[in-house]
């Protein structure tokens, strides 16, 4: 830790954005420590005694965030690529979480995700040593998810717990928004959590690449290549603006043995303007067909001219990403999250 008891007595309040966790500490280097329920409760107690309740929560958020940033960077930079031009789904996050939906807001870069932590390990650790909580307690989980999503979407995304098993809720649920959105929300609790996660500074402290998304699976088509369908395990990528071709590709899920494992379809709409008539209807049909086959849809490269149409779809995609590269990375994350359904 960067802080000691003596330091805390001299500076009882943590300035907004200050990193109070040593990136080289064992808590940041050893992932098993933060997912073991037997360790989480003593860790919180020790940090609370050392730093006080508020700074202890900030420390837990930052510890989790550093793990999430590092794990996601490894997934994007290494786990997707395989020899021979293929690709495989990334390894599971050290702390499993489930993405449930994206609220359509009209702007493709206005990320908003709802989700849950199916195992509720941090809440269970609390209940094993403490009475029922009065507010959500899963700070490590929120930090980890914030780091993972921030690395995945090359942004600053903060996940804040909205329901918690430790306070009597049925599940541990979170809402993830852009950090600036939380800081301007007017809600003291959300602002405090967002202030405790200076994600850009945490990334710098870990010496991670600024844009982990620049690592692509070998064999990914570029804009200069002929658009072809790619199937990498559970993710199908359709880099084609032709709606008829996209619909035919989705229909492969019903007939092609090679596509039986597909659970997420990424559709690249780069350079395509979707009108409110035929374009919207065709896109809706593609998403509905994918859903009928048990697959979620991720849209990539939605232009500013198409944002309003996408936001008004009756059955929106689970995610809208700024480019094909982010869409593929998100597709693998969604596919991985589907393995942790309750």
Angstrom distance (rounded) from CA 238 to CA 247: 10
Using DSSP, state whether 255 is helix, strand or coil.
helix
Q: What residue ranges define each of the domains in the chain, with the CATH number in brackets?
A: 5-214 (no CATH), 230-340 (3.30.750.24)
* Higher-scoring residue by pLDDT: 330, 3: 330
Can you say how many angstroms the Cα of residue 293 is from the centroid of all Cα atoms in its chain? 24
Angstrom distance (rounded) from CA 152 to CA 330: 7
Tell me the pLDDT tens digit for each residue of 163-219: 999 999 999 999 999 999 999 999 999 999 999 999 999 998 888 654 433 333 344
pLDDT for the residue 225: 42
pLDDT for the residue 164: 97
pLDDT for the residue 21: 81
pLDDT for the residue 272: 82
In this prediction, residues 323-331 reach a mean pLDDT of: 76
Tell me the pLDDT tens digit for each residue of 254-295: 776 656 678 888 888 888 888 888 888 888 888 888 888 888
Paired residues of 145 in beta bridges: none
Q: Which residues 6+ apart lie within 8 Å of 316 measured at CB?
A: 102, 104, 287, 310
pLDDT for the residue 280: 85
pLDDT confidence bin for 80, thresholds 50/70/90: very low
% of the chain surpassing 70 pLDDT: 73
pLDDT for the residue 223: 40
DSSP class per residue in 35-94: H-HHHHHHHHHHHHHHH-HHHHHHHHHHHHHHHHHHHHHHIIIIISB-GGG-B-PPPPPS
Tell me the pLDDT tens digit for each residue of 134-153: 999 999 999 999 999 898 88
pLDDT at residue 242 tops 80: no
pLDDT confidence bin for 312, thresholds 50/70/90: confident
pLDDT for the residue 63: 92
């Amino acid at each position: 830790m960067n802080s000691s008891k003596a330091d805390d007595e001299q500076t009882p309040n943590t300035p907004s954005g200050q990193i109070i966790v040593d990136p080289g500490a064992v808590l940041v280097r050893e992932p098993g420590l933060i997912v073991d329920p037997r360790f989480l409760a003593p860790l919180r107690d020790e940090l609370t005694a050392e730093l006080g309740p508020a700074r202890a929560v900030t420390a837990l958020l930052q510890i989790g965030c550093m793990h999430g940033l590092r794990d996601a960077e490894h997934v994007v930079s290494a786990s997707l690529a395989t020899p021979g031009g293929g690709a495989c789904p990334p390894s599971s996050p050290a702390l499993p979480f489930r993405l449930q939906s994206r609220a359509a807001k009209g702007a493709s870069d206005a990320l908003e995700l709802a989700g849950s932590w199916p195992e509720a390990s941090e809440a269970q650790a609390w209940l094993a040593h403490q009475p029922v909580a009065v507010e959500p307690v899963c700070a490590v989980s929120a930090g980890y998810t914030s780091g993972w999503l921030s690395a995945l979407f090359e942004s600053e995304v903060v996940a804040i717990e909205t329901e918690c098993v430790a306070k009597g809720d049925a599940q541990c649920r979170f809402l993830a928004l852009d950090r600036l959105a939380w800081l301007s929300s007017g809600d003291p609790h959300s602002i405090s959590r967002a202030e405790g996660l200076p994600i850009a500074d945490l990334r710098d402290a870990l010496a991670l690449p600024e844009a982990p998304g620049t690592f692509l699976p070998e064999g990914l088509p570029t804009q200069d290549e002929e658009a072809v369908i790619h199937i990498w395990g559970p993710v199908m990528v359709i880099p084609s603006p032709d709606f008829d071709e996209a619909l035919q590709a989705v229909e492969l899920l019903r007939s092609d043995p090679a596509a039986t494992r597909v659970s997420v379809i990424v559709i690249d709409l780069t350079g395509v303007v979707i009108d409110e008539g035929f374009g919207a209807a065709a896109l809706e049909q593609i998403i509905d067909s994918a859903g009928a086959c048990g697959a979620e849809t991720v849209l990539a490269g939605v232009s500013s001219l198409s944002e309003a149409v996408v936001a008004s779809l009756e059955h929106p995609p689970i995610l809208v990403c700024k480019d094909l590269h982010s869409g593929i990375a998100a597709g693998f994350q969604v596919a991985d999250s589907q393995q942790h359904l309750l």
